Homo-oligomer: A and B are copies of this chain.
Amino acid sequence: MPIGSSILPALYPVTGFRLGVASAGIKQEGRKDLVIMTFDESSSVAATFTQNAFCAAPVQIAKQHLNHQSPQYFIVNTGNANAGTGQQGIDDALMVCQQLAAKTGVNSDAVLPFSTGVIGEPLPVAKIIDAIPVALDNLSEDNWAIAAEGIMTTDTRPKAASRKLKLDDDTKVTITGISKGAGMIKPNMATMLAYVATDAAIEGAVLNSLIADAVNHSFNRITVDGDTSTNDACILVATGTAGNDPVVTVEDDRYGVLQQALTELFVELAQAIIRDAEGVTKFISVDVNGGQSEQECLQVAYTIAESPLVKTALFASDPNWGRLLAAIGRAGISDFDVDSVSLFINDLLIAENGSRAASYTEEQGVQAMASEEVTIRVELARGSQQACVWTSDLSYDYVRINADYRT
């Protein structure tokens, strides 16, 4: 069962950004599996993509098209990742772009394709093309919630977040976004799939800086299984319809306002992926403080977050701090004095000086672990840097879902 509320928050429309949904019948008849998004070519668009060397055909095409011209359409299918499909996959992704372009009168380079689902099967191009008119027919600024459903694969619920904020004395702007993902989650400079739009006017280079920063502190801080997807993509569109003077430099005071709001919204979307991770029963924050560098804090945090022994102990609500110490010890930190480490679960001190804290009792530990949301806090006490990553536990259901996925 996923963690936390499954009710979507209020999703404010972003003027100039419309979404349409259809059922192409890719894996299952009647399931919403095709989403089209559209916006004016005057919008700014910034994107980050997977760093997996086996990146999927649509990722390759989306990158090329972004380099050629301003996009006006996104087309997203689920049920098939069009990854590990060679030249045929490239041809198929291009064909989908061409068909959407022909129906809408834009250049096919103005279409960015996205796919998510099983790897290695040929893309069912005909089904997708047949469903394009349906999705175009229902394009609307009010379709964020239904689009969040339309991009789901093994997700059990849609993921979305929305904000209104005052950008300057004259302008209130909206930011709304959706994401998907439950497994093969360790985004690397990108995420599974996330689409965020704002009506603020933001120049392209500034938008690139905003997305890089927000992704780095959100999607790049989550892991379910350490497996980076072949299809990760995160897209940020600024339609400019709010009417503000465009933000054209990172020195602009409004940059900080946008940065904070976007990072918060990205974190909400990223955490929503963990709350719905495959087989999740606990939402875990791994908070590492007192490192000499952010990098070493991340190393320790990820070593804990990806340890199968830690993750199974979390599933069992077992305060097995020995496995935590073992994970910290193998994280590869140089010149590391293990006796200076303190370890907390939520605010309970568990271990210090390389062994169990004198004040700690197993009863307290079990109580701290019983919660659906658990924070593992590590104090390295060798510097002032910190990092936090979010992860899920490892349950029977994780094995079931991934042993059954293709059948």
Q: Interface code A73-117, partner B: CB below 8 Å = 1, 0 otherwise?
A: 000000001011111110000000000000000000000000000
* CB pair A353 B307 closer than 8 Å: no
**A325 to B53 CA separation, bound complex (whole angstroms):** 9
CB of A328 closer than 8 Å to a CB of B: yes
**What is the chain B residue whose CB lies nearest that of A54?**
B329
Does A403 lie within 8 Å of B83, measured CB to CB? no
**B contact residues around A89 at 8 Å (CB):** 355
- B residues less than 8 Å from A315 (CB atoms): 399, 403
By a CB distance below 8 angstroms, the chain B residues around A309 are 183-184, 225, 227, 402
Interface flags, A217-260, vs B, CB<8A=1, else 0: 00000000111111000000000000000000000000000000
A330 and B188 form a contact (CB under 8 A): yes
Alpha-carbon separation in the docked complex, A120 to B329 (Å): 14
A167 at the interface (CB under 8 A from B): no
Decide yes or no whether A323 CB sits under 8 A from chain B: yes
Q: How far is the CA of A401 from the CA of B201 in the complex (A)?
A: 55
Q: Is A306 positioned at the interface, with any CB of B under 8 Å from its CB?
A: yes
Docked CA distance A318–B371 (Å):
35
Identical copies in the complex: 2
A333 contacts the other chain (Cβ, under 8 Å)? yes
Asked if residues A308 and B120 are in contact (CB atoms below 8 Å), the reply is no
> Roughly how many angstroms separate A283 CA and B81 CA in the complex, as a whole number?
29
Surface stretch bound by B, among A21-29, A35-43, A158-166, A390-398: A390-398
Q: Are A320 and B406 in contact (CB under 8 A)?
A: yes
Q: Is the CB of A308 within 8 A of B84?
A: no
Are the CB atoms of A225 and B307 closer together than 8 Å?
A: yes
Please determine whether B119 and A54 come into contact, CB atoms closer than 8 angstroms.
no
We find that the number of chain A residues with CB closer than 8 angstroms to chain B is 67
A311 to B53, CA, bound (A): 21
**Interchain CA distance A13-B95 in the complex, whole Å:** 71
Closest-by-CB residue of B relative to A336 is: B53
Q: CB within 8 A of A120: which of B54, B321, B395, B399?
A: B321
Chain B residues whose C-beta falls within 8 Å of the C-beta of A312 in the assembled complex? 398-399, 402-403
Interface residues of A in 374-407 (CB under 8 A from B): 394-396, 398-400, 402-407
- 16 contacts across the A-B interface (CB closer than 8 A): A54-B325, A54-B329, A81-B322, A86-B356, A120-B322, A120-B351, A183-B309, A227-B309, A227-B326, A228-B330, A308-B394, A308-B402, A312-B398, A312-B402, A312-B403, A320-B405
19 further contact pairs, Cβ within 8 A, besides A54-B328, A119-B323:
A53-B330, A53-B331, A53-B338, A84-B351, A84-B355, A84-B356, A85-B355, A89-B355, A120-B320, A120-B355, A186-B330, A226-B307, A230-B322, A230-B326, A308-B402, A315-B403, A316-B403, A318-B406, A320-B406
